[in-house]
Amino acid sequence: MRHRVAGFKLGRTASHRKAMYKNMAVSIIAHERIITTQVKAKAIRPVIEKLVTLAKNDTQHNRRRAFSKLRSAEAVEKLFNTLGPRFAERGGGYCRIIKLARRRLGDAGERAIIEFVERTPSEVAAPVVEAE
Count CB-CB contacts under 10 A for residue 103: 12
- Segment 31-52 mean pLDDT: 96
Amino acid letter for position 121: P
The pTM assigned to this predicted structure is: 0.85
Q: Spell out the CATH class of 14-116.
A: alpha beta
**Cross-strand bridge partners of residue 35:** 113
Output DSSP code: residue 92. S
Q: Which of 56, 45, 51, 43 has its CA nearest to residue 71?
A: 51
Model confidence pLDDT, tens digit, residues 80-132: 999 999 999 999 999 999 999 999 899 999 999 999 998 777 666 667 778 76
Cβ neighbours, 10 Å, residue 78: 17
Q: Residues near 61 by Cβ (< 8 Å), separated by ≥ 6?
A: none
| Element (DSSP H or E) covering residue 24 | helix 14-31
Position 32: which residue type?
A: E
> Residue type at 47?
V
